[in-house]
């Protein structure tokens, strides 16, 4: 067994009692391999009686060597943001729909994890975004995002208007239904639906994708991951910023959003032979005949 994975945390989809049976089955399998198993405290609420130690996500720092997340991509997004500062690598078991980030199946998880415990895996390092909201030059909100930061409107009768600068240099003034600032991971999420490019996760770049821009000439743009993106709100109304669909903040006129690469990375582990291009073909149904 790979000695670097002595203690493994199991984390299930939030408020999902159906996760109990497969998660306990996985826990028993890992314990039989000599692994110390701990269970996330919110997940444990749905497990009933069990012999495993219970920890909150914040208590896993310096205790857990690997976290296995059972759920969908939304679950992985939330857990990844929380555990990234601790440097804990993540493995995903898919119980959602697409499963771009949670690529093990319930049927294959034991076989795949047996090989991974023997050191047969590949590691991906993926970037996060750090977002700050300034009002009158005072920071009033900060958050991280694994997929994207989205500025969007709630009132369908009006558009947002914002000025965008890259490292202080004027890029454009945007009138649109919204603006997405996406990591490579998020390029296959909302940004893809809005017409953005698919970006390989190994690239250190950020995409700016307008949502229904009020012009025929505006197109998505990809900038260096070293960039600092400033967004000044010129017109708001009922406008919000949200982070990976898990948190949001109401914006006001003249608020400034500062977006940059987060200092921490997400470490994802995949079975040996994992291919991002295969995932794209499988999840996006490329090469399928109509």
Distances 14 to 38, 69, 78, 234 between C-alpha atoms, Å: 16, 11, 10, 38
DSSP summary character for residue 196: P
Please indicate whether residue 177 is annotated as part of the active site: no
Cα end-to-end distance, the chain, whole Å: 45
Report the C-alpha gap between 145 and 151 in whole angstroms.
13
Report the C-alpha gap between 95 and 13 in whole angstroms.
9
Which residue among 73, 103, 244, 255 is the active-site one? 73
Say if residue 107 is exposed, middle or buried (CB neighbours under 10 Å; 0-12, 13-18, 19+): exposed
The closest of 35, 29, 40 to 70, measured between CA atoms, is 40
Three-state DSSP state, 158? coil
Say if residue 65 is exposed, middle or buried (CB neighbours under 10 Å; 0-12, 13-18, 19+): middle
What residue has token string 């997405």? 180
Report the C-alpha gap between 131 and 228 in whole angstroms.
10
Give catalytic residues, as residue numbers.
Answer: 73
């Amino acid at each position: 067994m790979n000695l670097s994975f002595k203690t493994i945390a199991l984390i299930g989809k939030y408020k999902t009692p159906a996760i109990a049976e497969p998660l306990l089955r996985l826990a028993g399998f890992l314990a039989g391999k000599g692994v110390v198993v701990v269970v996330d405290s919110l997940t444990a609420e749905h497990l009933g009686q069990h012999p495993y130690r219970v920890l909150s996500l914040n208590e896993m720092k310096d205790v857990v060597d690997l976290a296995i997340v059972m759920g969908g991509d939304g679950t992985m997004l939330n857990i990844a943001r929380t555990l990234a500062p601790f440097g804990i690598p993540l493995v995903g078991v898919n119980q959602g729909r697409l499963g771009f980030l949670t690529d093990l199946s319930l049927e294959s998880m034991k076989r795949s994890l047996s090989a991974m415990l023997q050191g047969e895996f590949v590691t991906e390092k993926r970037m996060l975004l750090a977002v700050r909201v300034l009002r009158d030059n005072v920071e009033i909100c900060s958050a991280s995002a694994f997929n994207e930061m989205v500025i969007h409107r709630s009132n369908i009768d009006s558009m947002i208007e914002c000025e965008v600068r890259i490292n202080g240099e004027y890029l454009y003034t945007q009138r649109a239904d919204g603006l997405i600032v996406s990591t490579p991971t998020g390029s296959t999420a909302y940004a893809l639906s809005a017409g953005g490019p698919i970006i390989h996760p190994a690239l250190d770049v950020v995409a700016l994708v307008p949502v229904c821009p009020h012009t025929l000439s505006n197109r998505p743009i990809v900038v260096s991951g070293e960039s600092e993106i400033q967004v000044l709100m010129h017109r708001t109304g009922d406008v919000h910023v949200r982070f990976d669909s898990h948190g949001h903040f109401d914006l006001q006129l003249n608020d400034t959003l500062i977006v940059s690469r987060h200092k921490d990375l997400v470490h994802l582990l995949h079975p040996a032979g994992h291919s991002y291009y295969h995932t794209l073909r499988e999840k996006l149904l490329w090469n399928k005949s109509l």
